[in-house]
Amino acid sequence: MSDKMVEIRWHGRGGQGAKTACLLLADVAFSSGKHVQGFPEYGPERMGAPITAYNRISEGRCTIHSNIYEPDYVVVVDETLLTAVDVTSGLKPEGAVIINSDKSPEELKPFLAGYPGKVATIDAGRISEEFLGKNIPNTPMLAAVVKVSGVIGEEQFLADMEQSFRHKFADKPQVVEGNLQALKKSMEEVKVGS
């Protein structure tokens, strides 16, 4: 069980939706038949303060209830955290860090404390503005995480997300299409460096 377990750590700032994205990932992984954990780490809660959230995704139940210190993947929802938080701490070299940024992986590599693994970037803010009309980067980030980690099949992910959007936006179906486009665009656009 633990051999197949995928552990993900999210870094964001309070109010940006990192916790929401973490819980969304738990939702979609659950829908695809996995065992999931999605939990935020609570510190002094305030808008803009660095926050952390975690996912464990596995075939069988995971009983561990500690934070994640050696993640397979790290997601950075706010690029400015790169100089404030050691985001790649404990990150497995065979994993990847996925950063919300308009820069290339090569440009960000110097800020990653010599992390030897894969660096991926996605301009989730721009995609979100383009398709949703405002900067709410968490759904495009989620798509990039699914693409890079392969933790859920892409088709399955898109189908589950469509269902979840149709449910969530039952009273405003016009936003469903924009959200789906944002996901697809993000999966196409995510840049994976070496």
Partner 1 sequence: MAIKDRLSGNEAVAIAMRQINPDVMGAFPITPSTEIPQYFSSYVANGEVDTEFVAVESEHSAMSTCIGAQAAGARAVTATSSCGMALMWELLYVAASDRLPITMALVNRALTGPININNDHSDSMGARDTGWIQLYSENNQEAYDNFLMAMPIGEHPAVQLPVMVCQDGFITSHAVENMELLEDEKVKKFVGEYQPENYLLKKDGTLAIGPYGISAYYMDFKMQQVEAMKQAKPVILEVAKRFEELTGRSYGFFEEYEMADAEAALVIIGSSAGTAKAAVDQMRKEGKKVGLIKLRVFRPFPMEELAAALSKVGVVAVMDKAEGFSNAGGPLFADVRSALYDLENRPKAINYVYGLGGRDIKTTDFEAIYEELFRILKAGVTGPVYRHIGQREE
Residues lying near partner 1 in the complex (CB under 8 A) are found at 2, 23, 26-27, 30, 35-40, 42, 61-67, 69
d(CA 103, CA 120): 10
- Least Å distance between CB 122 and partner 1? 24
Tell me whether residue 70 or residue 106 sits nearer to partner 1 (CB atom): 70
The answer to whether 59 and 18 have CB atoms below 8 angstroms apart is no
Nearer to partner 1, 52 or 179 (CB): 52
Structure tokens at 169: 């936006």
What DSSP element (H or E) covers 172?
none
Nearer to partner 1, 66 or 194 (CB): 66
| Distances 153 to 48, 105, 110, 114, 160 between C-alpha atoms, Å | 33, 24, 32, 30, 11
Q: Which is nearer to partner 1, 24 or 120 (CB)?
A: 24
What's the Rg (C-alpha) of the chain? Answer: 16
Check if the beta carbon of residue 139 is closer than 8 Å to that of residue 183.
yes
If you search the block for the tokens 């398709």, which residue do you land on?
131
- Minimal distance, residue 161 CB to partner 1, in Å: 16
Q: How far is the CB of 185 from partner 1 (least distance, A)?
A: 27
What is the closest distance, in whole angstroms, from the C-beta atom of residue 43 to partner 1 in the complex?
Answer: 9
Least CB distance from residue 142 to partner 1, whole Å? 15
Nearest to partner 1 of 30, 169 (CB atom): 30
Using CA atoms, how far apart are residues 39 and 18, in angstroms rounded to an integer? Answer: 11
The residue among 16 and 101 lying less far from partner 1, judged by its C-beta, is: 16
3 state SS for 71-85: CCEEEECCHHHHHCC
- What is the 8-class DSSP label of residue 116? -
User: What's the min distance (Å) between Cβ of 29 and partner 1?
Assistant: 9
